[in-house]
Chain A
Amino acid sequence: MNASKTLVYDGSFNGFLTAVFIGFEQKLTHADIQKQGQLQSGLFAETETIFTNIEKAQRVWNGVRNKSNTAIKNIYFAFLSEQNNMEALIYRYIQKLMGSKYKGATDFSDDGVLKINQLAHKVGREKHRMEAFVRFQLTKDDVYFANIEPDFDVLPLISKHFRNRYADQQWIIYDLKRKYGLFYDLNTVEIISLDLTDIHSNSIEKSSAFTEVEYEYQDLWNNYFKSTTIKSRINNKLHVQHVPKRYWKYLSEKKEAV
């Protein structure tokens, strides 16, 4: 029996869950699970390459879900944080959860549990921010287009929200950092990758990719944003706390401030 081993997976969530399955199967107390291509193996550590197996992934997913719905959400969100070493943290979290005699309860007095909770919370906040801060611009091809650069990989989490809301317009949300996007063509949402020559942020220069009225509406919106401010209550600290500066370049109402 191995106490410790390095498991290498393909970077997908299902791949990761498969690795968790293998870890449990081999009764590893510490599983060092790493993404392919980012491998940092210990000097004497044994490595095993994991082949993604949907069935095994599904079994881990179901096992966790039977214990707690919150836990399964936490695990997926924490995974999308892309944080260093989150794999080991999640592995330990699942170990704790499966070993616990309580169903649904979470041990908030445990450091590891708190850590996963905080990670999931951060990703959740970024998801919510993207639902708020996406700014579509209408292209001449009649597609509403938005660029984002989220701190975490939240596209998979926001897809459903935008699909449900903007069911009668074509839209693209493109993650510049991770170089992939979502395209809704009035029927389904597909994952796309684009060769972007221009970065279509909400910069002051107009881009010929967008319609003329697009800039009229941005102008109206910017005006609205100013008119709705109450001057005698200005509170810039609160403003920046809610709309952190790193998002400003994609918000038309803040483009002059960038």
Chain B
Amino acid sequence: MGTDNPMAYMTENTNLQRALLSKIEQDGQGRIVVQEGRKVEEMRMGEGGRWVGLRFGNDWVRGGVVVGADGYNSPVRAFSDIASFGHGYDTHAIVATLHHSPIHNHTAFQRFLPTGPIAFLPLGHDSTTLVWSTSPRLVVAYKALGPEGLATMINLGFFMHEQGLEGINTQILAAHDKGERFNLAFLDEQWNTILNNLTTEQTKSLPPPIASVAPNSIASFPLKLSHAESYIGDRTVLVGDAAHTIHPLAGQGLNMGLADVKVLGDVWEKVKSNGGDLGAYTSLLPYTRERYPANHLLLSTTDKLHYLFSTRIPGINWARSVGMDVINELGPIKKLLMGRVGAQASGTSTTANGGSPMRPQGSVYERAADGMDAFRNVKTVAGMAVAAGRELVKGGARQVLERLAK
């Protein structure tokens, strides 16, 4: 909470899960049953399509509607016979928790490398989340470096110029293909050279050097863009990754899912107060009308950003930087993108609950809502993509990085 008007908040997944579970315990007594450690083995439509049954072992549980919050390979989506379109990025992401010396300025950094973006997303004073999107082969090779080698590689990823990185990547891949262990001393040597030549001015606008990587936190997954054809099936409704997956470069995956759930909750509250059938198509329609276009816009904008920032074709590079300068002068568009790449829920969202740990969500939602309205007014998605990229590289880090790259 270093600034008065933060762009977004980072939270560890376990904290989020713990908060949600305690909320369920608090408010859901007698109304919410958690089937822990049990697997849905079968799903069937009831007579007349009025209910859906889920089988756990020998027990059937019946409900008027099933929410598919079951991830990218959603069995609920498959049951609902809803197609999903999109494409893979031939890119995998490494995620890990990083440790560094304490900092006071909680700024997120993202560097757009030709292989994909590397992002520094602060969690606390001395820890941060890494999301590094790069080629699947490099992901395997980086992970094979071990936690210490990976820590150095991450530092190089943020600080080294592009040509140098390219050379190192080639060597790492060659060694990995031969089954050899890469010489970590070489990486350290490269890193120390950079570290010794950093000016105070540069350190101010760059992330802090990484001291270590939490060994158990390292994971990787393939990146793909996908969007379900519809969010509504027969007595089923899709939210989150079951409905859409997005490139992590804008950090919107979770936010989109949270916004889905928020809107669905609001819609259902109204349906229930008017005696509606929660699982009926008409009841669910307002949810999809609100979320589908908003999600689609974010998906396509982020998709274009991915290609825009990974290309190194000179003309596009030039246009990209000019585009940024132009956007920088356009007050309203800049305003909409500065700090508004949070969640996108409707203007009706009012999760205001003073003092609770979730407090910032409300304001983020609201500002995001304003942002979305402005989004709709802007016709050129490419222009927005450039501007969004501008925001993601906060504090001019990118310009410094590019200068370093030269």
Chains A and B belong together in one complex: no
Residues in chain A within 8 A of chain B (CB atoms): none
Residues in chain B within 8 A of chain A (CB atoms): none
